[in-house]
Amino acid sequence: MKSDDAKRRAAARSLCADLYDDDRPPPRRREGQRSESSNDRKTMQFCAQVRRVLQSHIPSHRCPEFIDLFIETVEPAPDASRLRVVISIPARSLHTPAAIHLQLAAMTGFLRSEIASAISRKRVPTLSFDLTPGKESL
pLDDT tens per residue, range 23-38: 666 666 655 555 555 5
Fold of 35-133: GMP Synthetase; Chain A, domain 3 (3.30.300)
Amino acid at 113: S
Which pLDDT score is estimated for 137? 47
Distance CA 66, CA 68 (A): 6
Per-residue model confidence as pLDDT tens digits over 46-87: 999 999 999 888 877 577 777 788 899 999 988 889 999 999
Q: Are the beta carbons of 59 and 104 closer than 8 angstroms?
A: no
Structural domain spans, the chain: 35-133
State the Cα–Cα distance between residues 125 and 83, nearest whole angstrom.
6
Q: What is the pLDDT of residue 100?
A: 87
How does DSSP classify residue 124? P
Is the model's pLDDT at 20 over the cut of 70? no
Helical residues (DSSP H) of 1-138, grouped into ranges:
4-16, 36-57, 97-118
Model's pTM, two decimal places? 0.66
Q: Rounded to 5 degrees, what are φ and ψ at 60?
A: -105, 165
